[in-house]
Structure 1
Amino acid sequence: MSARSSQKPAQAQQPLAAATPEKSQRKNKHASPTLSPESPTVGTAKRSRSTDASQATSLMWFRTDLRVFDNEALSKACAAGRPVVALFVIAKGEWKHHDFAPIKVDFVLRNLRTLAQSLAKLNIPLVVRTADAVKDVRPVVLDVVSQIGAKKVFWNKELEIDESRRDARIAEDLTAAGVTVSVNNSQMVVLPDLVFTKDRSPYTVYTPYKNCWISVVDASPNLLDLIPVPDPVAAALPEIVANYAKEHSEIPDALDEFPMPDELRKRAHAEWPAGERVAHERLVTFLEQRGARYKDERDFPAKPSTSRLSTYQASGVISSKLCVRLAWEANHKRLATGQPGLVHWISEVVWREFYRYILVKFPRVCMNKPFKLETDRVAWSYDKEKFESWCEGKTGYPIVDAAMRQLNTTGWMHNRLRMIAASFLTKDLLIDWRWGEKYFMQNLIDGDFASNNGGWQWTASTGTDSQPYFRIFNPLLQSEKFDPEGVLIREFVPELAGLSNDVIHEPSRKLSSKQLARIGYPEPMVDHGAARNKCIAEFKRASGK
């Protein structure tokens, strides 16, 4: 099979440290608004009426690609020979509908500020508009196109089904109005249609997908070519457009619809600084200092062994292509062989690609459906009281409680803990995985639909390439293996901090009910062995085995 890349080859041989923005250069049914002058618009600014081709502008619509480096749509917009205006829509209705966490919204707003600064150096103003309801995004975008007299609109493709349908409708409206639309790739290294089985059907298992993915990149290494920061736009904006952009440049500090505790905000700002430069520096530091140890240490949540780049990837502050490219270079231009730590980390980035591939090829996973449709016959529990105990980290299983309290306290959770917590909810409590999926999205700073949905369905044994239903995480064994000294438990479950290592993983085994009550820790919600047997029996019944 062949692979192609629409990116420009750009300094493919540059060293790791050169890949920074500064260094590289310096389900909805909506109405159908039109772009005719007589049509109502959402905005209040004076409409730009100029039809002179020399005065026409290009619009770059940013979404989950908050960066100027390795941004295909931005590069093409700047190369079009027209003045460029950038747009970001604060889509409050969409974000609520898709369960954006307040901490993620805060992160997006902070990155908008750094993006606006980077764009200003390119002579591109950032217009910021707000869409209160899901249906408002289309008319807002169409209104901005009309206001600035845009003749070309550029954006990078979003892969989820709601976003794909929205973009298709907007593209139809723009095309009908004589506006050229350029849809580009920003989220994936290898586009879904380049990876397929021998009979040209989509992959449903990760390892064969990964092997094909690697063969595509090995055959066409230009897929890893990075797109540099564009040169500053030479064409000046018409005065009326420049004034419009200035009137709509304010980026709010916070949104009332997404309230966030001050302590969490302060912590998030310290742990997750905004900006491409930060993301790129973290990537380089990880590869140089921890990449070699990644395979051996990645599952120990108390160790600083992971890249912690998922937050930046989820909002498009850094591209997957840059992540793979620099790891590939650090591994002497190898993807599948070489340094085990780097090879394994590359495979984790490919997992992100795989889950995006799945939602494109099997869009039902975007519609609240399991990948394995037969698992909808499982008689899930909807016990709200037990669910709340899990959410609050009060299950009586210290490693599960530490995981949930890490999430609630920091807005982030280590991947091993995500699997442990998800397994407990879906297998020990037999609660519908969709409840857990939603709760994670509502609280994670790195909330990403494809990865979150894929991870939950993997753990719940409802998804593609998922763990077999009879393989169920034992929380005690997981705790003893991956947090042997109880470091994470002591940090996030402080009432257990004084217990010895042989007690802290399962205090109910050594302490009486009165002793547990005295330190303020609950007894286990369920017996793991009995819960495991019940879960297996239910999956067997649902599958007819």
Structure 2
Amino acid sequence: MQQNVNCVVWFRQDVRISDHPALAMACTFAKQYGSQVKALYFVTPQQWAEHDVAAIQIDFIERHVNLLAQSLAKIGIELTVVQLNTFADIAPWLSEFCAEHDIGVIYAANEPEFNERQRDAALIDASLPLHLLDQDCLLAPGSVQNQAGQMYKVFTPFAKAWKKLAASQSIVPLGIPKFRQPINVPLLCQFNCDEFYPLRVKSDLWAAGEDSARKLLKQFIENHIADYQQYRDLPAIDGTSKLSPYLAIGVLSARQCVAAILFYYPDALVNDASPAKTWLNELIWREFYRHLLVAFPKLSRAQSFNELGQLIQWRNDNDEFQAWCQGQTGYPIVDAAMRQLNQTGWMHNRLRMVVASFLTKHLLVDWRWGEQYFRQQLIDGDLAANNGGWQWSAGTGCDAQPYFRVFNPMTQSSKFDPDASFIKHFVPEVADWSLKHIHEPHLKAQHINSMADLFSERAKQEKAYPAPIVEHGFARKRALEVLGALKRG
């Protein structure tokens, strides 16, 4: 056998074996040359900590890496899990590995984030045989452009062009490669992240595995996608897909999701009246934000898309920020959402907008503080979506909501949790309040203050839940003045 004919498939944010072009290409290469496929996964805890990856997401990844090893063993491929600290440690390790195992090509998926792209460029500069494939998005970044050949800066025309291009293609996920006879299932591995993650956070409330993810996808499309537009904003109802954790680490691919939609709704890409339209648009938002990361690398480096964002004079009151983090703002809808995040590692999408608007506009705390806190808690942490959502809420992003749109938390509360069942679950302190007081907590605070002398003990008990941290009308006026820095012209 000629030298340098073995190959590597490097798993990244794509811990699956179905619809995995890099794995399929590696198997084809090995069959052609009668050679070996080596599978690698790098654990980089220091890098993860620097990127604010949540401990619960690392636990979720660990579970899936072990399942990936079992799945690969069934098709005759051994997965080697390598623990290093940072991306910088990968090049020397890979160079030695390639020399030792006669590696002729390394197949891996392109990633949209800036540090990851820098890492890959450095590997190529070091003459490592890295072959990158676009499998992160359904349509590769840079393939959806306006008439000037540039990236769209507004979602609606991007979505229209995306659908047109997607409709012209065959969207068929790849199956699991048939490679060789099964090998022994490897022993479970455990990531050693204690130096950077001293507290482990279990992800057991989320089912693991490709089969579980595909089952959830199928059930959602069969039973809920047609009602998604109606129920997606109601946090007390299980009306969302709950697929974001699987998409974030690549247990599911965007192609699998779109193909599943088209199986049940074949005209979804061309019919604006399709029942699948609203959820399909969520997938397109995901692609939009990932395309933006590639087109505008500054987004990965904590910079506002709108350069005027640097003119905003954020208040950045740390005590108020901590109250927000802990779900102690005195606004039950905000606090319920933050407690859901802290207790489960996930937050309902409508509430992500509510709490982000509250932090950036009511408290005038820099969106980057909120983005970082979210990333440190979320099981579905994803730089593109997280950055895009936070900048959208703050008014600094691409196609963002205008700076003068300030969500009224009381209106959001009464509209989207009308019976307060979601709030009462996460903020039991207000469970015996009237609905009016739950949705308009300033009225309750006024009542407590006026009755304190007569019912002092009761008042102290009620005050275990804080009064609103800021009055809405005042906060809105202040936000308009400060965020006016974003006004163009």
TM-score (norm 2): 0.93
3-state SS in 1 of match to 2:131: strand
Aligned to 1:16: none
Contact 1:457 1:463 (8 Å CA) reproduced: yes
CA distance, structure 1, for counterparts of residue 108 and residue 247 of structure 2: 17
Aligned to 2:236: 302
1:539 equivalent to 2:483? Answer yes
CA distance, structure 1, for counterparts of residue 15 and residue 213 of structure 2: 12
1:133 equivalent to 2:86? Answer yes
Contact 1:84 1:233 (8 Å CA) reproduced: no
Aligned to 1:526: 470
| Cα deviation, residue 382, structure 1 | 1.8
3-state SS in 2 of match to 1:442: helix
Contact 1:83 1:233 (8 Å CA) reproduced: no
CA distance, structure 2, for counterparts of residue 516 and residue 375 of structure 1: 43
Q: Deviations over 1:256-313 (max 9, x none)?
A: 132446xx52xx31x2121100100000000001111001110101101111000000
3-state SS in 1 of match to 2:346: coil
| Cα deviation, residue 250, structure 1 | 5.6
CA distance, structure 2, for counterparts of residue 483 and residue 171 of structure 1: 52
3-state SS in 1 of match to 2:378: coil
Contact 2:167 2:270 (8 Å CA) reproduced: no
Aligned to 2:22: 73
CA distance, structure 2, for counterparts of residue 310 and residue 472 of structure 1: 26
Q: Deviations over 1:360-404 (max 9, x none)?
A: 111111111000011110001221111000000000000000010
Aligned counterpart in structure 2 of residue 232 of structure 1, from 175, 179, 200: 179
Contact 2:289 2:384 (8 Å CA) reproduced: yes
Aligned counterpart in structure 1 of residue 111 of structure 2, from 154, 158, 162: 158
Aligned to 2:189: 251
Aligned to 2:448: 512
5+ residue gaps in structure 2?
Answer: 453-457
Contact 2:309 2:485 (8 Å CA) reproduced: no
Aligned counterpart in structure 2 of residue 398 of structure 1, from 314, 332, 342: 332
| Cα deviation, residue 336, structure 1 | 4.3
Residue identity opposite 1:230 in structure 2: P
Residue identity opposite 1:289 in structure 2: N
Aligned to 1:429: 363
CA distance, structure 2, for counterparts of residue 473 and residue 140 of structure 1: 50
| Cα deviation, residue 54, structure 1 | 6.9
Contact 1:128 1:250 (8 Å CA) reproduced: no
> Counterparts in 2 of 1:51-450, with a 5 A limit?
52-53=1-2, 56-80=5-29, 81=31, 82-175=35-128, 180-219=129-168, 221-222=169-170, 224-233=171-180, 251-252=189-190, 255-256=193-194, 257-260=196-199, 265=202, 268-269=203-204, 271-337=205-271, 340-450=274-384
| Cα deviation, residue 498, structure 1 | 1.9
| Cα deviation, residue 436, structure 1 | 0.2
Contact 1:292 1:339 (8 Å CA) reproduced: no
1:469 equivalent to 2:403? Answer yes
Q: Deviations over 1:301-348 (max 9, x none)?
A: 110111100000000000011101111221124224266441110110
Contact 1:356 1:450 (8 Å CA) reproduced: yes
CA distance, structure 2, for counterparts of residue 76 and residue 417 of structure 1: 41
Contact 1:157 1:185 (8 Å CA) reproduced: yes
| Cα deviation, residue 253, structure 1 | 5.8
| Cα deviation, residue 218, structure 1 | 1.6
CA distance, structure 2, for counterparts of residue 196 and residue 148 of structure 1: 42
CA distance, structure 1, for counterparts of residue 477 and residue 220 of structure 2: 41
CA gap 1:254/1:309 in 2 versus in 1, 3 angstroms: farther
Q: Deviations over 1:477-501 (max 9, x none)?
A: 0000000011111111111112232
Range 273-282 or range 336-345, more displaced: 336-345
Aligned to 1:7: none
Q: Deviations over 1:102-149 (max 9, x none)?
A: 000000000001100100011000001111234223223333323322
CA distance, structure 1, for counterparts of residue 361 and residue 98 of structure 2: 50
CA gap 1:338/1:362 in 2 versus in 1, 3 angstroms: closer
3-state SS in 2 of match to 1:79: helix
Q: Provide the identity percentage.
A: 39
5+ residue gaps in structure 1?
Answer: 1-51
TM-score (norm 1): 0.83
Contact 1:91 1:134 (8 Å CA) reproduced: yes
Calculate the aligned-residue CA RMSD, in Å. 2.0
> Which stretches of structure 1, 4 residues or longer, exceed 6 Å deviation after superposition?
none
Contact 2:3 2:102 (8 Å CA) reproduced: no
3-state SS in 1 of match to 2:41: strand
3-state SS in 1 of match to 2:135: coil
Q: Deviations over 1:505-540 (max 9, x none)?
A: 223313414556413100011011111111111122
CA gap 1:447/1:189 in 2 versus in 1, 3 angstroms: same
CA gap 1:336/1:401 in 2 versus in 1, 3 angstroms: farther
Count of matched residue positions in the alignment of Structure 1 and Structure 2: 474
CA gap 1:516/1:298 in 2 versus in 1, 3 angstroms: farther
